[in-house]
Amino acid sequence: MKDLFKVNTKTIVATGLGAAIFTLLFMYVKVPSPVPETSFQTAYGVSALFATLFGPIAGALISFIGHALSDAIQYGSPWWSWVIASGVSGFIFGFAFKRTRVEEGEFKGKDIITFNIIQILGNVIAWVVVAPLLDILIYQEPANLVFTQGITAAIMNSISAGVIGTLLLVAYAATRTKKGSLSMK
């Protein structure tokens, strides 16, 4: 459990790179939904990749910083309830860090299922609980609107993390040397 929250140079570099990629994807590679102020965001697939490779701290910071920067650049100021929810989702995605074998060159079957259970759980907690409650508490938004937005965001972000994140993790695992595949002759 101790290694799950370890921060080192690799984590810091990954956080900077991940936040930059997240910001760009969040701003430019999205598909609007019929629900106001919600979009299918490809950034959460990348967030899930980085969180799985570098842990919950990197995942939280990448999503939080990337979302805050994107909001600040596009709208002049972050919408903090959703920025915090992004950080929560990235943090929870990071629990796949030690529960998959992606670094060992394996990301099939059980690993894919484990990853997707974690990312769906992260998206539901972030978008169906955290974002709507903070919208109500911070901005006095109407409950029916924010829960509709939250449920929509949870579904779309789960699809993004599930499809894009899984494909990226499968591709990444294929680049890793599988444990026991090298032998001395």
Residues 18, 24, 30, CA angle at the centre, nearest 5°?
A: 115
Instruction: Say whether pLDDT at 182 is over 80.
Output: no
Q: Who's near 160: CB < 8 A, 6+ residues apart?
A: 40, 41, 42, 43, 44, 45
Give the span between the Cα atoms of 83 and 131, in whole angstroms: 8
Percent of the chain with pLDDT over 70: 95
CA distances from 14 to 3, 35, 91, 135, 181 (A): 16, 33, 14, 30, 27
pTM score of the predicted model: 0.93
pLDDT at residue 183, as a whole number: 58
In tens, the pLDDT along 52-66 reads 999 999 999 999 999
How many other CB atoms are found less than 10 A from the CB of residue 24? 15
